[in-house]
Structure 1
Amino acid sequence: MKMEWIILVAVWLTTSSLFFFIPRKKLRLAQFVILFTQVITWLIGLVVVQLGWIDYPVRCFASANMTSFTFEYLAYPVVCGLFNARFPENRSIGFKLFYYGSYCTILTIVEVVIEKNTKLIDYIHWAWYWTWITLFITFVMSRIFSKWFFSVSVPQVRIGENHE
């Protein structure tokens, strides 16, 4: 049990340090994506736990939530924010797909290793490919929604100007 808590603390520290890799000019984008992703992962996390597909025997806030607060509300949303802030917008479609695939694959490998070696997550009726697919879908959703959100023209009002 001690190993699980060491891993949770390490994930919190590592995730917190990821903010330093977000370019300053993309910080608003990353913050938006983090909040958007938290909504998605909260819903998906609750569904998979309630359906009995995944169990989180060791978790933060165990009496309040059956999902993994550390992954659903912190680690994955921050990684998703970093993903969007550093997205290779001007690269080829092949490179963009590689970018998506790399993030999904690395996160899936980490989850599978944690699932096999700890009590932080137990797959009941789940498999690694479901993790990969849901990560891919949420990365795509966050990318599409953030592009749409930041493309909406918002009139800028300057203090002291006459707006009649």
Structure 2
Amino acid sequence: MKKEIIILIFSWIIVISLYFWKIPAYLKGRAQIAFLLGQTIAWMYVFLSVYFKHVEFPFREFPYATKLSFSLHYLIYPAFAMFFEVTYPSSNNRKKIILHYAFFVVITNLYTFFIGHYTELTRPLKNEFLNIPIFAFLLFVAHQFNRWFQKGMKGTNT
């Protein structure tokens, strides 16, 4: 079995396991909204990245259907956004919030770096350091949307 398939299967198992065993029931709705928005943002971002030739995906689950990676941008990266939102600090302590952003941006970029340099899951074609501010901005947008969405659901999923 190719190492790419093993990495994807392992990533799927980790994401699904963490969702079911580490996210409390009262946060499942909030997590699902963050996940769906993460899918939307990831799809737009990767579509533009492929279109402008910033990245390519030599190994794809559906090579004849799309030039995009299904697992990375429909499960794994949205899961980062979901766990970012679920673990977001409840206090308005600026230091905790900045560390939270930094932690998730670093973890996401490390994952991207390792799969980009040691596997055929993705191949960065242009400056990949541009991903750092882009990921931070996308997490910020996802968090702002989730806050806005939760305002209408007073008392639930908080």
Correspondence for 1:158: none
Could you tell me how far apart the structure 2 residues matched to 1:65 and 1:21 are? 33
Question: Residue 153 and residue 16 in structure 1: after superposition, are their counterparts in 2 closer, same or farther (change >3 A)?
Answer: closer
Unmatched runs of 5 consecutive residues or more in structure 2? none
Correspondence for 1:45: 46
Correspondence for 2:116: 115
One-letter code aligned to 1:151: K
| Two-structure CA RMSD over aligned residues (Å) | 1.5
Could you tell me how far apart the structure 2 residues matched to 1:86 and 1:24 are? 14
- Paired residues of 1:56 and 1:66 also in contact (CA < 8 A): yes
% identity of equivalent residues: 25
Could you tell me how far apart the structure 2 residues matched to 1:6 and 1:26 are? 30
Q: Deviations over 1:94-145 (max 9, x none)?
A: 1111001101101111211111111111111131x22222211111111100
Matches within 5 A, 1:24-35: 24-35=25-36
Pair member with larger Rg: 1
Per the normalisation by structure 2, the TM-score is 0.90
SS at match of 1:144: helix
1:42 Cα offset (Å): 0.7
Q: Which runs of 4+ in 1 moved over 6 A?
A: none
Unmatched runs of 5 consecutive residues or more in structure 1? 155-164
Report how many residues are paired.
153
Matches within 5 A, 1:1-20: 2-19=2-19, 20=21
